[in-house]
Chain A
Amino acid sequence: MNRYRKTWAAALCGTMMSGLAVTSAQAEDITLCWAAWDPANALVELSKDFTAETGIGMKFEFVPWPNFADRMLNELNSGGKLCDLLIGDSQWIGGGAENGHYVKLNDFFEAEKISMDDFAPATVYAYSTWPKGTPNYWALPAMGDANAWFYRKDWFSKPEIQEAFKAEYGRDLVPPKTQKELMEIARFFQGREIDGKTRYGINIFTERGSEGITMGATGALYAWGFKYENTPGKYDMEGAVNSPEAVEALEFYKELYKCCTAPGYTDSYMQESLDSFKSGQVAMAMNWFAFFPGLYKDEQVGGDKIGFFVNPGQNVEASTLGGQGISVISYSDKKEQALKYIKWFAQPEVQAKWWSLGGYSAHNSVLNDPGFKDSQPFAADFLVAMGGVQDFWQEPAYAELLLAMQKRLHDYVVADQGTAQEALDKLIEDWTETFEDEGKL
């Protein structure tokens, strides 16, 4: 027994000591929280300059997208001090502002002469303001982003493929200009044998757990002219959310999923989209601009094998908004250092380097630079997309609204339950309930 006890005591002491070592990080370090994805790695690279300049060390907490919202909103709601800076999703801004998670930045911007006019208006509107469109700033636009498409340029340019496509559809095989063309091309590639392997048409977002299928399907919905409200700010959704155009768009998205995706992508989001494309299964895939630098650099499918295009319009030209602003967390003990980081980050030179490393700057000095459009093969598309972005609800109750949409869309598109009309009608019911709870209806 004695021997047992000694081992136990030793083990316990050891673990306690190491526990202390873990928790007592350097006092000067600040922690930045963001999603774990390609641009985050670029930000790590970029932030080394900040540490060199100011002596403030940077720590990072990156959470993969499927868990990002859950983890971070939980962190905010528990008043956690993990993050000093948070690059939070655009839809969180309402909750961040109203529940006191974010520090209001107006005074700081004024004192440091940071002007929101230096940033692209769409990004300021989406990433910084609450209530929407008012000059109340809760974040600095950090990462512009939208959902777009990429395709196998090498397959598209094969003569025999070109010929076969022309014979079937009577037009040249080029990146689609409308959603319906997109489906035709996907259908064309579905099950086609290329280089001795069976290929599939397309990868689209179908993820259930976080926001995947909503972000994917809105690409079609917005293109058909979907609106959340008849009159902005009135929450009158009947006739807007379930308009005939919306129903048609949702039916289109389901058909696209049924006809032209590779087997097994029933719960597909960013990582799965990349997987299906990189493993050579699909001819086209949707994803956020954020991944395009990495894709272009890929050894297998990058370089001249890949091409990019903006979300095709149907009735209107529109793209689903991604992207984030950087905010200071009100529970942090190191707000001063965190603000220093934002001040540093807002500088035009830093923004230029941010773009060159693979981040998407929203700063006008970068975007309006004459060389910008040609700096990357997807840069021009990025500008086009950002000109027509639409976002999900940014209400404080956004998570509830999103979960309802996830469920209704997944039930209809993937699980084959009910019709598009029913799905959207039920969605209005869910959303009405939420807004009633909120006292907004």
Chain B
Amino acid sequence: MSTTTAHSVVAPGRRTRFVAGLLVVIYALVTMVPLAWIFLTGFKTPPDSISYPPKVVFEPSLEGYVNLFTTRSRQTPEYMESLPPPQTWYEELVRSRHMVIAGPSKFGERFLNSVIIGFGSTFLSVFLGTLAAYAFSRFKVPLADDLLFFILSTRMMPPIAVAIPIFLMYRTVGLSDTHLGMIILYTAVNVSLSVWLLKGFVDEIPREYEEAALIDGYTRLQAFVKVVLPQMATGIAATAIFCLIFAWNEYAFALLLTSGTAQTAPPFIPTIIGEGGLDWPAIGAGVTLFLLPVLVFTILLRKHLLRGITFGAVRK
């Protein structure tokens, strides 16, 4: 601490910095181990994945990925011999385990559902959020802070508690297990985040820009579309990614309100099983594919992360 003179606290010394860096790097590496393990397990064979002690060095295999996308059934050697020779490499891989491919698995469908519901709800919540945020920021809305607090407080309900009446409501109007139902629900959940975040971004845009546009003869709407919106682009993109990540990761509603048609990936992935026994490589593969987009988004978002996770309360 005392190696440097004038700025010992403000600008830490070299040794302090080195020790601090070392500790942080160690923490970061430790925290990465589970993720690395998930990734590696995806490339193991099923026997390797459940060997004890666990294998760190192993021969990589794509079996997990093949198993993730197919359903298979075990057959007798006599039956296997009666089949024509395998056409593709993955068929060959499956055959080598005395199994035949029965068909594609549901993983592709569930993944697609996640994409549809994720993008659909993100679009809607950002759209609604942008409008509301602009209004809250620029106009004198009666009871503005009560309304804003109300919007936020909707996030305090435990999801299971919300799901009880939603289940009954959707059953009545036929929205159970539909993409539309899930999009509406996720939009309703996300819109609070969206309004709060975007309001922060609008607040940062100087009002003078619009004032100038209004003087130039723009209507309020024109000024909003042509002047404010372009300024909000970064904020909208960041908000959209936050909404998307929430919808992508959401589990409780998806578990309780969807079934075969609109089920998303999170409730599905834990139910991936192999032919007799848990198929950890397939789960590892599924988890890897599912987490990858979020990792990419997190890296893109890193500058706005703080804002997103605190509903804009902390802006740096």
Contacts and interface: CB of A to CB of B under 8 A. Distances in A.
Contact of A75 (B73, B237, B259): B259
B85 interface: no
Contact of B276 (A16, A42, A295): A295
B277 A271 contact: yes
B276 A278 contact: yes
Nearest to A48: B102
Interface in A35-66: 36, 38, 41-42, 44-45, 61, 63-64, 66
Contact of B74 (A11, A33, A82, A294): A294
Contact of B120 (A15, A31, A291): A15
Contacts of A31: 260
Contacts of A4: 233, 236-237
A15 B119 contact: yes
Interface in B88-112: 97-98, 102-103, 109, 112
Contact of A63 (B50, B97, B271): B271
A278 B119 contact: no
B113 A22 contact: yes
A12 B116 CA distance: 8
B230 interface: yes
A411 B71 CA distance: 36
A35 B311 CA distance: 42
Interface in A259-282: 271-272, 274-275, 278-279
Contacts of A291: 276
B75 interface: yes
Nearest to B257: A78
B67 interface: no
A298 interface: yes
Contact of B230 (A1, A18, A74, A78): A1
A18 B260 contact: no
A11 B230 contact: no
A1 B74 CA distance: 54
A26 interface: no
Interface in B243-292: 256, 259-261, 271, 273, 275-278
B229 A1 contact: yes
Given A4-B237, A8-B123, A80-B177, A38 B171 contact: no
B218 interface: no
A61 B236 CA distance: 39
Contacts of A12: 119-120, 123
B176 interface: yes
A71 B257 CA distance: 10
A41 B260 contact: no
A297 to B, nearest CB: 5
Interface string B164-188: 0001001100001101000000000
Interface in B125-181: 167, 170-171, 176-177, 179
B253 to A, nearest CB: 12
B112 A22 contact: yes
Interface residues of B, number: 42
B217 to A, nearest CB: 22
A275 B52 CA distance: 12
Contacts of A11: 119
Contacts of A15: 115-116, 119-120
Given A1-B233, A64-B273, A275 B278 contact: yes
B72 interface: yes
Contact of B260 (A61, A79, A297): A61
A99 interface: no
Contact of B177 (A19, A82, A298): A82
Contact of A36 (B52, B115, B271): B271
Contacts of B115: 15, 18
B275 A38 contact: yes
Binding site secondary structure of chain B: mixed
A71 B256 CA distance: 8
Nearest to B274: A271
A61 to B, nearest CB: 4
Nearest to B127: A8
B58 to A, nearest CB: 16
B82 interface: no
Nearest to B126: A8
B73 A41 contact: yes
B50 A279 contact: yes
B179 A23 contact: yes
A275 B277 contact: yes
B76 interface: yes
Contact of A297 (B76, B123, B230): B76
A279 B52 contact: yes
A67 interface: yes
B259 A74 contact: yes
Given A15-B119, A19-B116, A74-B259, A44 B275 contact: no
A348 to B, nearest CB: 23
Contact of A23 (B72, B102, B167, B261): B261
Contacts of B51: 279
Given A12-B123, A22-B116, A297-B76, 13 more contacts: A11-B119, A12-B120, A15-B115, A15-B116, A22-B261, A38-B73, A71-B259, A77-B171, A82-B260, A279-B52, A291-B276, A294-B275, A299-B97
27 contacts: A1-B229, A12-B123, A16-B116, A19-B179, A22-B113, A22-B116, A36-B271, A36-B273, A41-B74, A41-B102, A71-B259, A75-B260, A78-B167, A78-B170, A78-B259, A80-B176, A82-B259, A82-B261, A271-B273, A271-B278, A272-B278, A275-B278, A279-B51, A295-B276, A297-B74, A297-B76, A299-B98
Closest CB pairs A-B (n = 7): A41-B73, A82-B260, A78-B176, A1-B230, A61-B260, A274-B277, A19-B116
